[in-house]
Amino acid sequence: MIETVVRVGIADMDVVKAPNSIRTAGLGSCVGVVIYDQHSQIAGLAHIMLPDSSLAKGRQQLNVAKFADTAIKKLVTDLLTRGAIRNQLKAKIAGGAQMFQFAKQTEQMRIGPRNVEAVKRELKNLSIPLIGEDTGGNSGRTIEFVPDSSILYIRKAYHEALEI
């Protein structure tokens, strides 16, 4: 079987099964959340922009992939539909950088850290163990998850590549 790298855009999500892998780029203050079932070799990735769907403007169609509180629930549903086993789900996350420094640091400006906190809270609420993370700092990231090895590859500008 030929391996395909499935690309996930900003405020988007997708699910893959081995031998395919899944990748997203442009994780600044955004958080990449990978939820996977190691035994079924199924993984989903959400590129989350904001911590809470209550921040949505207006009452237009809600993009569930954009928010931590809605994306993680939808990703779990999608994984279970594709054959993952609920009690075998685990998570790895990356991103949540503080990309800009402001003279006056208000809570509203802490988007990266707030995203990380929201993602961790949602994973805890769903009883999904967080196995590894590379969060914070001030560098953007590109991540790729390989379901057959359960390795999350992380690349940051001016840093050594990481594997978690």
Nearest to 136 by CA among 47, 27, 36, 44: 27
Q: What is the pTM of this model?
A: 0.91
How much is the average pLDDT of 142-155? Answer: 97
**Banded pLDDT at 61 (limits 50, 70, 90):** confident
Nearest to 91 by CA among 71, 112, 66, 64: 71
Domains and CATH numbers, the chain: 5-163 (3.30.1330.200)
How much is the average pLDDT of 122-148? Answer: 96
3-state secondary structure the chain: CCCCEEECCCCCEEEEECCCEEEEEEECCCEEEEEEECCCCEEEEEEECECCHHHCCCCCCCCHHHEHHHHHHHHHHHHHHCCCCHHHEEEEEEECCCCCCCCCCCHHHCHHHHHHHHHHHHHHHCCCCEEEEEECCCCCEEEEEECCCCEEEEEECCCCCEEC
Q: Which amino acid is at 36?
A: Y
Name the residues annotated as catalytic.
30
pLDDT for residue 116 is more than 60: yes
Q: Find the range with the poorest average confidence among 50-59, 88-97, 104-113.
A: 104-113
**Banded pLDDT at 158 (limits 50, 70, 90):** confident
Per-residue pLDDT at 125? 97
pLDDT for residue 26 is more than 80: yes
